[in-house]
Amino acid sequence: MPIVQLAGIRPFQNKSSKDKYFVNITRTDRIRSFVLRAGRTTGGQQRAIDELGPQFLIPFQESALDLQQVFGGSSHPKILEIGFGMGETTAKIAALRSDDDFLAIEVHPPGVGALLKLIGENHLTNLRLIRHDAVEVLEKMLTPNSLDGIHIYFADPWHKKRHHKRRLIQAEFVKLLVSRLKPEAYLHLATDWQNYAEQMLLVLNAESDLENTSTEKMSIETFSAADVASDLELAKESFKEFKPTLEQLDAKHPGYLERPAYRPTTKFENRGIKLGHGVWDLVYKKK
Ligand SMILES: C[S@@+](CC[C@H](N)C(=O)[O-])C[C@H]1O[C@@H](n2cnc3c(N)ncnc32)[C@H](O)[C@@H]1O
């Protein structure tokens, strides 16, 4: 399979860091949950990549990662974060939970630079970053039963219906996540888009190896009978996109939790809350 550089991504500008960390992304038929935006890496972010990259940025590799070794031999619990954006939440959680180690993944280079900068400013030692597609990192670098927790906060919701197949939280991806969790380990998601929150609930509640930790019972509000998959769609082997069943639309479901205290609110979230928008936290435990 040819290795290609995707259009729209700007590699790290410094040659030494580019050579080491700018790993080309393999083109596959899989629909991706992200779009590589051509954001500019600032001077400060680039300096952080050059100075702190060698210590905190792990290059993508096709083989399994020794998690204990990348955290300097630490046997602390290992938490994975997918899609950390500019890393403000990640840095705050790592500072608060200094007895846990955090492996954080993002594809967007300025975000990687921004989080490395926060690592330096806050003297954090329990964070390691990978700039790559999280799906491939999970498949290739992380071994079954190796993680104590997974955080996915405000993953791109893909609002338009025709883009729903790009949403990260679909049954097949959830199976991959669950396989990497240890028994009793947790999966924590948050979103500010109710329709995506309901998709998450239905997909995760249907995964037999997960238990929803919420005791709330709620009905589905944002999907209707028009969203149910047709027999024709279900018959197609290639049909992977989430669509609810009529039974799911009629039933009550284990629901959401109050935001756990370790997850700080972001400025976007605070702005939304002031405008009366909701935020939904979902926490599951692997059986
Ligand atoms: C809306 S942002 C949220 C960022 C951050 N979690 C927050 O709460 O502010 C979602 C991020 O997830 C990243 N992302 C989406 N799919 C990803 C994937 N498969 N692998 C790595 N990063 C991904 C995107 O690049 C984007 O920066």
Rounded to whole angstroms, the Cα distance separating 268 from 271 reads 5
How many CA atoms lie less than 13 Å away from 30 in the CB half-sphere? 16
**Phi and psi at residue 59, in whole multiples of 5°?**
-65, 150
Q: Which helix (H) or strand (E) holds 116?
A: helix 109-121
**Phi and psi at residue 76, in whole multiples of 5°?**
-65, 160
Q: Is 269 in the pocket of ligand 1 (CB under 6 A)?
A: no
Rounded to whole angstroms, the Cα distance separating 198 from 242 reads 11
Q: Tokens for 140?
A: 């290739």
Rounded to whole angstroms, the Cα distance separating 64 from 136 reads 11
Nearest atom, ligand 1, residue 157 CA: 1
Type of residue at 122: N
Rounded to whole angstroms, the Cα distance separating 69 from 150 reads 19
Residues 6+ apart with CB under 8 A from 66: none
**From ligand 1's centre to the CA of 193, what distance in Å?**
15
Q: Is 190 in the pocket of ligand 1 (CB under 6 A)?
A: no
Of residues 251 and 234, more confidence is placed in 251
pLDDT band at 233 (very low <50, low <70, confident <90, very high): confident
pLDDT of residue 16: 43
Nearest atom, ligand 1, residue 88 CA: 9
Q: What is the pLDDT of residues 38-64, one digit of tens each?
A: 788 999 999 999 999 999 999 999 999
11 secondary structure, DSSP code: -
**From ligand 1's centre to the CA of 81, what distance in Å?**
9
> Mean pLDDT score of the chain, rounded to an integer?
89
- Catalytic choice (50, 100, 148, 156): 156
* Size (the chain), residues: 287
Type of residue at 95: A
Name the residue among 208, 214, 224, 233 with its Cα closest to residue 286.
208
**Cβ atoms of 206 and 175 closer than 8 Å:** no
Q: What is the mean pLDDT of residues 104-125?
A: 97
Q: Is 34 in the pocket of ligand 1 (CB under 6 A)?
A: yes
Q: What is the pLDDT of residues 182-230, one digit of tens each?
A: 999 999 999 999 999 999 999 999 999 999 999 999 999 999 999 998 8
**Cβ atoms of 187 and 284 closer than 8 Å:** yes
**From ligand 1's centre to the CA of 108, what distance in Å?**
8
In the residue annotation, 156 being an active-site residue is answered as yes
Nearest-CA residue for ligand 1 atom 14 is 83
Report which listed range, 21-30, 42-51, 237-246, is most confident. Answer: 42-51
**Cβ atoms of 227 and 162 closer than 8 Å:** no
Alpha carbon 247 to its chain centroid, in Å, reads 29
Of residues 231 and 98, more confidence is placed in 98
Question: Which residue has tokens 């940025």?
Answer: 57
Q: Is 157 in the pocket of ligand 1 (CB under 6 A)?
A: no
Whole-structure pTM over 0.75, yes or no? yes
Q: Is 110 in the pocket of ligand 1 (CB under 6 A)?
A: no
Q: What is the mean pLDDT of residues 63-84?
A: 98
